Amino acid sequence: MKISDIKDPFVEARQQKGYAQVSDQDDPVTMMLRLKDVRKCAHNAKTFSSEDIPGRIVVPSEVNIRTTRQIPFEVDPPKHKGFRGLLDPWFKRPLEDDYKQKLHSIVDKLVTENLAGNSVEVIKEFSLVLQSRALTLLLNTPFEDSKLWISWGTHVFRSEGDALDGDKAQVLYDYLDEKLDEALANPSDDLFSVLLGAEVDGKKMSKEEAKGVLILTFAGGRDTVINAVSNTIAYLADHPESLQRLRDEPEIRGRAIEEFIRYFSPLTHMGRVVKEDTQVCEHAAKADTRISLCWASANRDETVFENPNEIVLDRKLNPHVGFGFSHHNCLGATHARQILSTLIDVFCEKVSTIDLLDAQDNIEHWDDFDRKVGYENLTVKFNKA
Amino acid sequence: MAKITFITQDNESITLEADSGSVMALAVENGVKGIDGDCGGVCSCATCHVHVNPSQVAQAGEASEIEADMLELSDNANEFSRLCCQIEITQDLDGLELTVAN
Ligand code: FES
């Protein structure tokens, strides 16, 4: 077993029953584990709703630390569509040449800075820095803003002990209130101003709604991107032949990124609230209980993926759900894909091999299941090409 | 060379020519509206959904099981649906007409 391997803790439960029950504060969750079931439930927004008390569909539940509804993901169709229609063009900007170039120079600079021959602790000194700097492009804000975001650490809602932390979340909320007030007084071309100036379904977006979009942007794209980047680096350190192959065969880089997303599944699962009594995998799901769509388990479903526990760099058919599925698929997916693709391009150009010096896994605990999602710390040395 | 025609939701008709690669890649390279190809063609995003002209279904070929499973839950899917990243361009496709589903 290599250090970068990520085991699949759900395999037995998935094969035997297709679901598992886990406790979450006082509101337990039935996890859906098979790819087809996960997709079907994700698609059936009528029975499995995303629109409940703000924070309830997230697992672990965030009802105790926020009252602002995250938009668009805590809004059901058809209302969801108006918000998504407004946000999609903005969140697809990473496909524009100008954006790509700016992202390239951010990544290039960061990699070059860390090529000096010293070791680098990837989580805090590389991935968090990269995520925060790249976020300035997504929000269209000054590069300097990233310094403050870096100082918040790897999770905006969690303190070091991993527990959800209301005081910490408040730091983000206060910041967003301040930025939104600034944008109201002096509109510019950043996302804060764009949201406040936008109309959805003929109605002007409120400050609370704009804040909901921004909380999602800050929280949803943070540890997920950090995990995706860090896991990729650990994998490439463990597999120098793969880095060489990506260098030699640039045409497979796109497939490799999808495969990393499948294998790493940076977000383990996302919940839904059951609206009417129903069944999942022949198990009763009562109205007002929660299920979760376990992307991590679905992405290892052996009935769909050949060799699910291996990274097959050029996997051709890869119907993964690493960015979710159906209406609520990941709004930041284009940005995340562009970050990974730029990172791989720069590594192929500038880095010969990566030495893995030290790693401590970040393990999530869900009752009977322990799932590695990334690293608490990961120390490597990038060697110059 | 195979000539392939795309009809977008705005009723714009675009005819493109190629002799290899996937139909999705051809559409994306030429900016056919409604075909995004987000996943790059690995059958994971369904943003390359088209309807094959009913008289040409045999020409385009059948969806694999994995593709059919994706289509089953896609908006606007019908019996003529395909994910065009899964259609490889060959001379046999010459004259194919596809309507963009989204
Ligand atoms: S391009 Fe993603 S499924 Fe065809």
pLDDT above 80 for A161: no
Question: What digits encode the pLDDT tens for the residues B21-57?
Answer: 999 999 999 999 999 999 999 999 999 999 999 999 9
Which residues of chain B lie closer than 8 angstroms to A36, CB-CB?
Answer: 69
The phi-psi region of residue A309 (left if phi > 0; otherwise alpha if psi is between -120 and 50; otherwise beta) is: alpha
Give residue A116's pLDDT.
77
Q: B90 CB under 6 A from ligand 1?
A: no
Map residue A77 onto helix, strand or coil: coil
How many angstroms does the Cα of residue B48 sit away from the middle of ligand 1?
5
Q: B35 CB under 6 A from ligand 1?
A: no
Give the one of B40, B44, B69 whose C-beta lies nearest to A320's C-beta.
B44
Question: What digits encode the pLDDT tens for the residues A276-295?
Answer: 999 999 999 999 999 999 99
Q: CB–CB of B16/B30 below 8 Å?
A: yes
Give residue B90's pLDDT.
97
Residue nearest to atom 3 of ligand 1 (CA): B43
Give residue A341's pLDDT.
98
- Position A155 confidence tier, pLDDT thresholds 50, 70, 90: confident
Q: CB–CB of A246/A271 below 8 Å?
A: no
Find the Cα–Cα–Cα–Cα dihedral A284, A285, A291, A297, rounded to 10°.
20
* Yes or no, beta carbons of B69 and A319 under 8 Å apart: yes
How many angstroms does the Cα of residue B78 sit away from the middle of ligand 1?
17
Give the one of A36, A318, A323 whose C-beta lies nearest to B42's C-beta.
A318
Atom in ligand 1 nearest the alpha carbon of residue B44: 3
Atom in ligand 1 nearest the alpha carbon of residue B37: 1
Question: What digits encode the pLDDT tens for the residues A87-100?
Answer: 999 999 999 999 99
A252 at B interface, C-beta within 8 A: no
Q: Please give the average per-residue pLDDT across A143-164, as a whole number.
A: 81
Q: CB–CB of A220/A157 below 8 Å?
A: no
Q: Tokens representing A103? A: 């992202």
Which residues of chain A lie closer than 8 angstroms to B44, CB-CB?
Answer: 258, 318-323
ipTM of the complex: 0.96
Sheet holding B13-18, edge to edge: B13-18, B2-7, B96-100, B49-52, B81-83
Q: Tokens representing A349? A: 């150009």
Give the one of B38, B43, B64 whose C-beta lies nearest to A318's C-beta.
B43
Give residue A151's pLDDT.
93
